[in-house]
């Protein structure tokens, strides 16, 4: 497992990847803006070189707003640690002043101190120039709350580090899911395009047969109706791709209008094959295999999830922090002891000022003292704060119990979805091959006058459904694997896999 310091280094390093990618996108977007094409995919506005899943995750880790905010919280925690240490360090302050008496101050004293009725006599005091400078040092010798605060601040930093890790895990998972959503949307668009293309070819062939007198107008009309029904679905699929891309850009922290295309093809992805049959899927295979899938017993998986899941680890650290808070509040009942030292220089002189006079009219004083402050009664504030903190700690324990139950459910749901995709993949592949063969046979039968247009239409529908089913199975598998990695707390690019699961 990476430490949060390694994670911070990786995120900083990946920022350069994001800048380079954005620069490349801007350059690549230039020629596409002037291109005039009528193909449906070209009207979507994505003309840059495609990126792979690894690059998408790296850009998201470097530029996602939630991760940036978590990094700022971690920096704030660093400053709070320094602030806590400041409570234990000495406070040093210095003062200096100069006063010029335009007229000397006057004090009134009785002319005869022994006579109550003696008249007052004005006596001037002081000199024309007065200099003062002092140095004060205060050091806390014992203050229980301050000592506990240092440990609490370090623990708070640990909480923020765990929160950064948990946030990064979520963003990586969201990026994978958004990436797969784009792939399935593109696959649906591709299948719709192929379906429309096949229908147009069938329509052209049927029109030729009608002209030759081999079929009647009804057969041509059937294809025209089917084509009219499929073309709106093609438009819907095109806009579905645009929406999927926008969601991916949002997770990656990219501007919505930046050109973006991605690599991958769900139709050629083989679930049961460790190696990617198509080079376009190699990176997806690599990312998918970073965390091995294990059929281990639930108890062992739960131990891993409890140790590695970001949400559970954050709650555990918050629980530890709450214990420190309770200890800090209780420390307010203890006395505090501090030491003080004061050094002061004073000088007075008549006439023109000389900086701090001379040895004859300058004096120095020093003092040292100890202050013991014993809290006796301050209302019920401290005891109330202790009880509130204990209640909040109990609430954190309940949150952890719920998080563990949720983790158990998420792991089981992800495992079931993975198992379902793995078990159904062979049947989906077989159905796809059969549908492809059936469509070719139906076309040949129609060309030879042995079949009907209804047979071709039905075969085309079965082929399109088989292709959609296979692509959906691959999508379900990849999405379930991303959720499984997140559920057990071992997300690619954030955590290394545990040896016992390999």
The pLDDT, as a whole number, for residue 36 is: 35
* 485's tokens: 């990695």
Give me the number of domains the chain comprises. 1
* SS3 label, residue 120: strand
Report, as an integer, the average pLDDT of 306-328.
Answer: 83
Pairing of the two strands 106-110 and 120-124: antiparallel
Residues 6+ apart with CB under 8 A from 387: none
Q: What angle separates helix 381-447 from helix 453-488, to the nearest 10 degrees?
A: 160
**Within-domain flag for 97:** no
297 band by pLDDT with thresholds 50, 70 and 90? low
DSSP string, 337-366: EEEEEEEEEEEEESSS--TT--TTSEEEEE
**Within-domain flag for 110:** no
**Within-domain flag for 366:** no
Lowest mean pLDDT among 25-29, 84-88, 418-422: 25-29
295 band by pLDDT with thresholds 50, 70 and 90? low
* 163's tokens: 């929160």
Report, as an integer, the average pLDDT of 133-158.
Answer: 81
The candidate with the shortest Cα–Cα distance to 261, out of 60, 478, 43, 52, is 52
> What CATH number is given to the structural domain containing 177?
1.20.1600.10
Can you give the three-state secondary structure of 220-236, one letter per residue?
Answer: HHHHHHHHHHHHHHHHH
344: left (phi over 0), alpha (psi -120 to 50) or beta: beta
Report, as an integer, the average pLDDT of 281-293.
Answer: 87
Name which residue leads in pLDDT, 252 or 442.
252
197 contacts 458 by C-beta, under 8 angstroms: no
Query: What letter does residue 131 receive in the DSSP assignment?
Result: E
Query: What letter does residue 496 receive in the DSSP assignment?
Result: P
**Within-domain flag for 10:** yes
333 band by pLDDT with thresholds 50, 70 and 90? confident
Report, as an integer, the average pLDDT of 426-447.
Answer: 84
Lowest mean pLDDT among 56-70, 157-171, 220-234, 449-463: 449-463
Is residue 2 scored above 90 in pLDDT? Answer: no
Query: What letter does residue 90 receive in the DSSP assignment?
Result: P
* 481's tokens: 């694997």
**Within-domain flag for 468:** yes
Is residue 298 scored above 70 in pLDDT? Answer: no
The pLDDT, as a whole number, for residue 20 is: 42
Rounded Cα gap, residues 349 and 355, in angstroms: 10
The candidate with the shortest Cα–Cα distance to 308, out of 285, 291, 325, is 291
User: Whole-model pTM?
Assistant: 0.71
**Within-domain flag for 359:** no
Structural domain for 264, as ranges:
4-88+143-334+375-501
Q: Which strands sit side by side in the sheet containing 91-100, from one edge to the other?
A: 91-100, 129-142, 336-349, 362-373
**Within-domain flag for 123:** no
Judged on CB neighbours under 10 Å (0-12, 13-18, 19+), 486 is buried
Euclidean distance between the first and the last CA atom of the chain, given in angstroms as a whole number: 14
**Within-domain flag for 486:** yes
The pLDDT, as a whole number, for residue 22 is: 45
């Amino acid at each position: 497992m990476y430490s949060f310091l390694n994670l911070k280094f990786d995120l900083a390093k990946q920022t350069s990847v994001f800048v380079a990618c954005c620069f490349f996108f801007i350059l690549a977007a230039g020629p596409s803006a002037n291109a005039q094409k009528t193909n449906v995919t070209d009207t979507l506005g994505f003309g840059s070189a495609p990126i792979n899943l690894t690059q998408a995750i790296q850009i998201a880790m470097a530029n996602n707003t939630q991760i940036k905010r978590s990094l700022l919280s971690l920096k704030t925690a660093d400053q709070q640690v320094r602030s806590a240490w400041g409570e234990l360090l000495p406070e040093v302050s210095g003062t200096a002043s100069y006063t010029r008496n335009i007229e000397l101050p006057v004090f009134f004293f009785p002319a005869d101190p022994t006579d109550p009725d003696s008249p007052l006599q004005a006596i001037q005091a002081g000199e024309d120039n007065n200099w003062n400078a002092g140095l004060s040092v205060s050091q806390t010798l014992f203050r229980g709350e301050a000592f506990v605060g240092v440990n609490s601040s370090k623990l708070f930093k640990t909480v923020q580090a765990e929160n950064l890790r948990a946030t990064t895990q979520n963003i990586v998972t969201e990026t994978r899911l958004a990436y797969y959503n784009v792939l399935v949307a593109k696959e649906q668009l591709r299948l719709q395009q192929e379906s429309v293309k096949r229908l147009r070819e069938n329509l052209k062939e049927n029109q030729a047969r009608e002209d030759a007198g081999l079929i009647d107008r009804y057969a041509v009309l059937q294809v025209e109706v089917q084509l009219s029904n499929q073309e709106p679905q093609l438009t819907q699929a095109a806009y579905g791709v645009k929406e999927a891309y926008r969601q991916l850009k949002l997770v990656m922290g990219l501007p919505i209008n930046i050109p973006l295309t991605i690599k991958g093809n769900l139709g050629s992805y083989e679930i049961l094959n460790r190696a990617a049959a198509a080079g376009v899927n190699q990176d997806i295979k690599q990312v998918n295999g970073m965390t091995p899938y294990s059929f281990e017993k639930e108890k062992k998986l739960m131990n891993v999830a409890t140790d590695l899941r970001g949400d559970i680890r954050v709650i555990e650290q918050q629980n530890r922090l709450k214990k420190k808070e309770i200890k800090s509040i209780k420390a307010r009942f203890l006395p505090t002891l501090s030491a003080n030292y004061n050094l002061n220089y004073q000088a007075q002189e008549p006439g023109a000022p000389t900086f701090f006079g001379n040895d004859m009219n300058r004096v120095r004083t020093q003092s040292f003292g100890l202050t013991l402050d014993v809290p006796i009664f301050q209302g019920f504030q401290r005891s109330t704060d202790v009880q509130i903190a204990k209640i909040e700690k109990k609430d954190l324990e309940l949150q952890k119990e719920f998080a563990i139950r949720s983790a158990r459910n998420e792991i089981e749901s992800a495992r079931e979805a993975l198992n379902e995709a793995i078990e159904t993949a062979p049947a989906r592949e077989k159905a796809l091959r059969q549908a492809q063969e059936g469509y070719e046979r139906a076309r040949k039968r129609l060309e030879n006058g042995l079949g009907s247009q209804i047979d071709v239409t039905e075969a085309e529908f079965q082929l399109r459904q088989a292709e959609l089913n296979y692509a959906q199975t691959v999508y379900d598998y990849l999405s379930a694997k991303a959720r499984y990695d997140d559920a057990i707390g071992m997300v690619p690019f954030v955590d290394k896999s545990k040896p016992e699961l390999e």
